[in-house]
């Protein structure tokens, strides 16, 4: 994240569109100069070095972009300084000594240093070594390059604007499940529709390479359109969902292809502009997301594969369209030798009979009969009877793969 | 028809067409095709629905037992008793305005003890979070929950920082029946107000030494209730609060500082003059927004920031701080600065403990304890000590610089007013001559002077 003032400096309003001035290859030369200047300042006071880094560099840089890159460099190098004595111990010993005896500064430091088994100079250095604004500059992480700073800075710029988003519309193809989950996890209202297929296969391939996803072999097929906003957004312009909306970006970057449009507050509450982020934008793609949403799911997949070697476990089955919305089942179980034998499996955490009834109603409307619900015995919030026609397996902490197999 | 809590709002399911009914806050939400209302209007919505005689199942409040443990007897001073009574008479909704050091936490504890319902207390900082936990645990023997500073433990009585409440309220907003808000003047301006909007608690108590006015007060009244009881410093100084002397020390810029100040001040004055000519009634925010659009404007704003930084801690102020710390060597001294850089400079030079946002909780607690016991003789801080922190032993304050105006000034002086036998506090205010600080210093003393004059 960037301070909003910096994000504004690196952005521009074009009508009602918010245009971000990303750091690109053209900026690498001055970013290299910035890194060199940083390395010359290793060992000096961080606050002084970072003030200096904002001054003109050996290679000229656009002023706003330079300030933004300096801010990012500051974040990327935090907490690397070390002191000979733990600074907290140094402070306590020194300030107590100063309160005890009225003596000149050098004398106090000398006495406190004796207590800590060090010398006055080291003690003086250690006093504020752990405080962000007072610490000394540590060495750069070895892997830091102009490219990495640029991609990281761009991602932070987008995230900063997303923090000021009120609502988001995303169209995404392939690997969309994590995106949908993320939206629902944060209690956002997420309206989902099926999206038209992407324009052409070639454009999809091009965008996958551009975003660093070329290792992903799965072809982008299934698409969804998401409209995401928070409950309170009905009543007032609120930025309370900014954090949750911002958390969608790393998920979107792992989709095969996506386009995100966010309505962001640019100034006062009434000034709104649209930010567009899409596949191919120069953003840092984070760590690959875990293949399972929970330990429970991971354990079930492992147990079931072991217990039922004749069945395939499909982690992310096609979403099911029903009553105007999409359902994302957790697993699809498909028989290896008879692919017509297919079951959808849904794991339900918190539940009420009403919720299960509604879920079954939607599945029935989609003409799906082979559906199995695994419900958490401990987290149910009602003792009332379950719907009569539900095929349910109750579990406590672990889903019994054999019990599932017995139903199929 | 069911009324449910949904992530900080209320939703009405299986409802008839209510679009023509005047139900406070209720709107049709086309995204989910349900009626929705903000959570803080819970009581009004229920009352309006009941008036319509519509069958209603209210499933908003999460079932939970009231605090099981008995509160210990909360002893109150006469004005504290009056404050609690006033709040009770206002249907347990309202703002109590009492000066710093007058025991607002105790008023809150008494309100909680008399109400005996599940309560969430909101405090602005991590330092105050710990102070409230300590204070409440003296009066309430049961478990006290904590949200903030890395802890996430929810109990029938829970204390949370504003920031944690802001994040958690969509999930916790229906668990508490009483909401206590310390330093309530932070709300009402739009920032973080959602923390109060997303809670269904019918009973609300706001506490502040410096309630806002105008639009912010109106908004605060909507979220917490009206001001039900108010006393100023002058009403209690010399009786329930320690009396104090305010000494203003005027210092000058040296030759080099004056040259830098004048150059930067000229840059900013030109911008300000041009803006005022175009927008005579423009606000500071509007000026900043307009200036940010141009290169010259941004340069002028940077110049303004440099002048603030310069006058915040000048060489003459450094000399004055040294002299005052030497003069009050045996006193318990609080030093207030405009920013962390000045706080660290003073801490480094005079070897006194800084209390800033960069100092961790345990170290801060140890330092405050050391200050109370006399192991440490002075503390220096830019913001953290401004509000709420209980340091009754402090008897001298040196205000080196400030950025937040009248409210900050009153709060800072309040740190010294917790009474002890024979105590008379001294506040030194360092003001740089012939700079914008002189005018600001006059303004920030105005509120304090008004309060003192009122009781005289």
Annotate B292-319 with DSSP letters as a single string: TTSHHHHHHHHHHHHHHHHHHT-HHHHH
Annotate B147-171 with DSSP letters as a single string: EETTEEE--SEEEEEHHHHHHHHHH
Mean pLDDT of chain A: 83
The mean per-residue pLDDT over the stretch A136-148 comes to: 87
Question: Strand B144-148 to strand B151-153: parallel, antiparallel, or no bridges (unpaired)?
Answer: antiparallel
Separation CA B119–CA B156 (nearest Å): 6
pLDDT in tens, A50-96: 989 998 888 999 988 999 999 999 988 876 556 778 999 999 999 99
Q: Where are the domains of chain A?
A: 4-81+134-151, 87-126, 163-278, 295-407
Q: Which of B9, B340, B350 sits opposite A133 (nearest CB)?
A: B340
Annotate A241-276 with DSSP letters as a single string: THHHHHTHHHHHTTSSEEEEEEEEE-SSTT-EEEEE
Strands (E), A99-243: 165-173, 189-194, 223-229
Residue B349 predicted with pLDDT over 60: yes
Q: What's the fold here for domain A295-407?
A: Trna Endonuclease; Chain: A, domain 1 (3.40.1350)
Residue B313 predicted with pLDDT over 90: yes
Residue of B351, B367, B375, B381 for testing the chain A interface, max A β-carbons within 10 Å: B351
Inter-residue contact A235 to B38 (CB < 8 Å): yes
CA atoms within 13 Å, Cβ hemisphere of A261: 10
Question: Strand A311-314 to strand B227-230: parallel, antiparallel, or no bridges (unpaired)?
Answer: unpaired
What percent of chain A clears pLDDT 90, i.e. is strictly above it?
A: 36
**Is pLDDT larger for residue B455 or for residue A100?**
A100
Residue B194 predicted with pLDDT over 70: yes
Residue A214 predicted with pLDDT over 60: no
pLDDT in tens, A320-371: 777 766 677 888 899 988 888 889 888 876 566 666 777 777 777 777 778 8
Q: What's the fold here for domain B243-253+314-455?
A: Rossmann fold (3.40.50)
Q: Is A14 helix (H, G, I), strand (E, B) or coil?
A: strand
pLDDT band at A146 (very low <50, low <70, confident <90, very high): very high
Contact: A95, B329; criterion CB under 8 Å: no
Residues of A in contact with B352 (CB under 8 A): 95, 98
pLDDT band at A141 (very low <50, low <70, confident <90, very high): confident
pLDDT at residue A263, rounded to an integer: 92
Residue B218 predicted with pLDDT over 80: yes
Where does A163-278 sit in CATH, by number? 3.30.70
Q: What HEC string does A59-127 produce?
A: CCCCHHHHHHHHHHHHHHCCCCCCCCCCHHHHHHHHHHHHHHCCCCHHHHHHHHHHHHCCCHHHHHHHC
Residue of A4, A48, A134, A226 for testing the chain B interface, max B β-carbons within 10 Å: A134
pLDDT at residue A304, rounded to an integer: 93
pLDDT band at B270 (very low <50, low <70, confident <90, very high): very high
Q: Among the residues of B90-200, which ranges form H helices?
A: 104-115, 126-139, 162-172, 194-197
> Does B330 touch chain A if contact means CB atoms closer than 8 Å?
no
Residues of A in contact with B363 (CB under 8 A): 88, 91-92
Contact: B38, A132; criterion CB under 8 Å: no
Residues of B in contact with A191 (CB under 8 A): 31
pLDDT at residue B237, rounded to an integer: 73
Architecture of the structural domain at B2-59: 3-Layer(aba) Sandwich (3.40)
- Residue B312, both tokens: 């915040």
pLDDT band at A205 (very low <50, low <70, confident <90, very high): very low
Residue A234 predicted with pLDDT over 50: yes
Q: Which of B340, B363, B376 sits opposite A99 (nearest CB)?
A: B376
Inter-residue contact B245 to B448 (CB < 8 Å): no
Separation CA A117–CA A85 (nearest Å): 9
> Does A266 touch chain B if contact means CB atoms closer than 8 Å?
no
Separation CA B1–CA B35 (nearest Å): 11
Residue A203 predicted with pLDDT over 60: no
pLDDT at residue A349, rounded to an integer: 65
pLDDT band at B39 (very low <50, low <70, confident <90, very high): very high
Structure ipTM:
0.70
Residue B451 predicted with pLDDT over 60: no
Scanning B155-174 for CB atoms below 8 A from A yields: 166-167, 170-171
Residue B293 predicted with pLDDT over 70: yes
User: Which of A275, A272, A276, A261 minimizes the C-alpha distance to A239?
Assistant: A272
pLDDT at residue A206, rounded to an integer: 39
**Is pLDDT larger for residue B232 or for residue B82?**
B82
pLDDT at residue A188, rounded to an integer: 83
Q: Is the dihedral of CA B296, B299, B303, B308 positive or negative?
A: positive
Is the domain covering B78-231 a CATH 3.90.1310.10 domain? no
> Dihedral (C-alpha) B171, B173, B178, B182: value to the nearest 10 degrees?
80
The mean per-residue pLDDT over the stretch B399-426 comes to: 78
Separation CA A158–CA B196 (nearest Å): 29
Residue A218 predicted with pLDDT over 70: no
Mean pLDDT of chain B: 87
Report how far apart, in Å, the C-alpha atoms of B228 and of each of B85, B97, B231 are: 9, 8, 11
pLDDT in tens, B122-181: 999 888 898 899 999 999 999 999 998 888 888 999 999 999 999 889 889 999 999 999
Q: Where are the domains of chain B?
A: 2-59, 78-231, 243-253+314-455, 258-312
Residue A382 predicted with pLDDT over 60: no
Domain B2-59 matches domain B243-253+314-455 at the CATH topology level: no
The mean per-residue pLDDT over the stretch B373-387 comes to: 87
């Amino acid at each position: 994240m960037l301070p909003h003032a910096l994000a504004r400096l690196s952005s521009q309003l074009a009508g009602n569109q918010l245009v971000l001035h990303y750091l690109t290859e053209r900026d690498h030369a001055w970013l290299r100069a910035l890194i060199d200047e940083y390395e010359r300042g290793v060992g000096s006071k961080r606050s002084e070095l970072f003030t200096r880094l904002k001054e003109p560099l050996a290679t000229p840089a656009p002023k706003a972009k330079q300030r933004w890159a300096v801010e990012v460099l500051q974040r990327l190098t935090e907490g690397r300084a070390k002191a000979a004595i733990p600074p907290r111990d140094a402070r306590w010993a020194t300030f107590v000594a100063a309160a005890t005896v009225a003596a000149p500064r050098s004398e106090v430091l000398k006495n406190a240093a004796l207590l800590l088994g060090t010398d006055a100079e080291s003690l003086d250095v250690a006093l504020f070594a752990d405080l962000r604004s007072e610490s000394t500059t540590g060495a750069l992480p070895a892997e830091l390059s102009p490219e990495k700073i640029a991609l990281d800075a761009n991602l932070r710029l987008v995230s900063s604007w997303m923090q000021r988003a009120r609502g988001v519309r995303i169209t995404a193809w392939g690997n969309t499940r994590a995106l949908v989950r993320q939206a629902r996890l944060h209690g956002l209202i997420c309206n989902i529709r099926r999206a038209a297929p992407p324009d052409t296969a070639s454009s999809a391939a091009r965008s996958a390479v551009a975003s660093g996803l070329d290792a992903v072999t799965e072809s982008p097929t299934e698409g969804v359109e998401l409209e995401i906003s928070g409950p309170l957004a009905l009543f007032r312009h609120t930025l309370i969902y900014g954090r949750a909306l911002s958390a969608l970006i790393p998920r979107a970057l792992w989709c095969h292809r996506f386009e995100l449009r966010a309505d962001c507050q640019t100034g006062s509450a009434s000034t709104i502009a649209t930010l567009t982020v899409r596949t191919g934008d120069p953003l840092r793609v984070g760590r690959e997301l875990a293949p399972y949403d929970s330990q429970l799911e991971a354990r079930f997949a492992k147990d079931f594969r072991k217990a039922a070697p004749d069945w395939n476990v499909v982690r992310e089955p096609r979403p099911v369209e029903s009553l105007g919305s999409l359902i994302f089942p957790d697993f699809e179980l498909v028989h290896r030798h008879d692919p017509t034998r297919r079951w959808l499996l849904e794991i339900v955490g918190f539940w009420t009979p009403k919720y299960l009834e509604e879920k079954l109603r939607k599945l029935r409307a989609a003409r799906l009969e082979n559906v199995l619900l695994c419900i958490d015995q401990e987290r149910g919030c009602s003792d009332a009877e379950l719907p009569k026609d539900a095929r349910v397996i109750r579990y406590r902490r672990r889903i019994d793969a054999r019990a599932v197999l017995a139903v199929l | 028809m069911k009324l449910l809590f949904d992530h900080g709002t209320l939703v009405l399911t299986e409802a008839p067409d209510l679009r023509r009914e005047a139900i406070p806050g209720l709107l049709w939400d086309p995204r989910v095709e349900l009626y929705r209302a903000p959570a803080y209007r819970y009581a009004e919505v229920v009352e309006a629905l009941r008036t319509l005689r519509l069958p209603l199942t209210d499933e908003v409040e999460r079932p939970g037992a009231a605090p099981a443990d008995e509160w210990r007897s909360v002893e109150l001073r006469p004005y504290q008793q009056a404050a609690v009574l006033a709040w009770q008479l206002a249907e347990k909704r309202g703002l109590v305005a009492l000066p710093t050091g007058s025991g607002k936490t105790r008023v809150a504890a008494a309100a909680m003890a008399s109400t005996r319902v599940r309560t969430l207390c909101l405090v602005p900082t991590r330092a105050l979070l710990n102070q409230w936990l300590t204070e409440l645990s003296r009066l309430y023997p049961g478990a006290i929950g904590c949200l903030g500073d890395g802890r996430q433990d929810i109990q029938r009585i829970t204390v949370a920082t504003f920031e944690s409440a802001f994040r958690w309220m969509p999930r916790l907003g229906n668990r508490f029946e009483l909401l206590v808000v310390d330093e309530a003047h932070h709300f009402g301006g739009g920032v973080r107000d959602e923390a109060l909007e997303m809670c269904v608690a019918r009973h609300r108590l706001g506490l502040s030494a410096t309630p806002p006015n105008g639009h912010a007060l109106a908004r605060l009244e909507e979220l917490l209730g009206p001001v039900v009881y108010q006393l100023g410093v002058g009403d209690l100084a010399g009786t329930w609060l320690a009396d104090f002397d305010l000494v203003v020390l005027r210092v000058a810029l040296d030759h080099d500082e004056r040259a830098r100040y004048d150059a930067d001040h000229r840059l900013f004055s030109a911008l300000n003059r041009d803006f005022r000519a175009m927008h005579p009634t423009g606000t500071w925010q509007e000026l900043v927004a307009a200036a940010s659009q141009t290169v010259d404007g941004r340069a002028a704003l940077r110049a303004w920031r440099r002048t603030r930084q310069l006058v915040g801690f000048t060489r003459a102020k450094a000399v004055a701080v040294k002299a005052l710390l030497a003069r009050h060597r045996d006193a318990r001294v609080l030093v207030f600065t405009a920013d962390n850089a000045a706080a660290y400079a003073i801490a480094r030079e005079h070897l006194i403990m800084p209390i800033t946002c960069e100092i961790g909780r345990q170290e801060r607690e140890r330092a405050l304890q050391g200050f109370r016991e006399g192991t440490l003789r002075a503390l220096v801080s830019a913001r953290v000590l401004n509000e709420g922190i209980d340091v009754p032993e402090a008897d001298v304050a040196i205000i080196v610089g400030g950025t937040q105006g009248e409210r900050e000034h009153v709060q800072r002086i309040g740190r010294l007013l917790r009474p002890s036998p024979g105590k008379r506090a001294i506040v030194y205010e360092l003001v740089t001559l012939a700079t914008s600080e002189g005018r600001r210093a006059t303004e920030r003393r105005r509120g304090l002077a008004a309060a003192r004059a009122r009781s005289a």
